[in-house]
Structure 1
């Protein structure tokens, strides 16, 4: 079974999302520690940078992970239409596009 993400070569976009979200969380939660470690006058700026990285990575994933045929935004559909804890499973388990029904095995 081939998922629609791997069939359309968009797994790398998910990997970039994971890495950037992890970097944002690292900065957000580690800002105070790094502020003390490097004697930064306002360590809250590191926290704010982490939040911004997280928000930007979420936005980029929402607009870039999409169907190559009908341009349906799969990531946005997953986080907005699925249950709270099921969006990632839903996104990775789809074998056809939910809007145009083009299958991963149909050459899309």
Structure 2
């Protein structure tokens, strides 16, 4: 016996097949997409934490622009040149960097 020509019989076979797949017939794709979204969100949080660590937490914080400029002057006296100060977007304080603006 071959494939039934009755649409209702075919629909029952399709429904039975999809029920074996689970997740409403998507074969677990809903779960895959949800896991990928969670992974992407975790990665974004980890990236933000790494940026914070690099840009703020691992650096000396100066309470004013004048304090940071004084630190640059003292560093220059000891041979470190090419520093500049910038206002931190994380803590609102001032940090030093050697990167050009």
Same fold (TM over 0.5): no
Higher CA-based Rg: 2
> Which structure features the higher share of helix residues?
1
Q: TM-score, normalised by structure 2?
A: 0.31
Higher relative contact order (CA 8 A, sep 6+): 1
